[in-house]
Amino acid sequence: MPKMKTKSAAKKRFRITGSGKVKGNVAFKRHCLSAKSQKMKRQARGTFVLFKTDGDNVKKFYLPNGV
């Protein structure tokens, strides 16, 4: 069976931390920002750590080589 490839879309969207957790970007911050509250825009500024089960799925199916 051939080696499993890393999904290119996931490679651009997720990063694995040193402790093995998966970081991602916060959604809903690209357009129509006038309708969103200042608090929401401020909290969506950085990145966030995915929940453990979601992070495990990302590592297993999309980032098997730990990119």
Q: What is the pLDDT of residues 14-53, one digit of tens each?
A: 999 999 999 999 999 999 999 999 999 999 999 999 999 9
* pLDDT score, position 15: 96
Residue 2 belongs to a domain: no
Answer yes or no: is 3 within a domain: no
pLDDT at residue 66 tops 90: no
pTM: 0.82
- What is the 3-class SS of 19-36, one letter each residue? CCCEEEECCCCCCCHHHC
Provide the CATH number for the domain around residue 46: 4.10.410.60
* Residue 67, pLDDT score: 76
In a domain, 47, yes or no: yes
Give CA–CA dist 57/13, Å, rounded: 14
The answer to whether residue 1 scores a pLDDT higher than 90 is no
Domain that holds residue 54: 8-62
Bridge partners of residue 22, in order along the sequence: 16
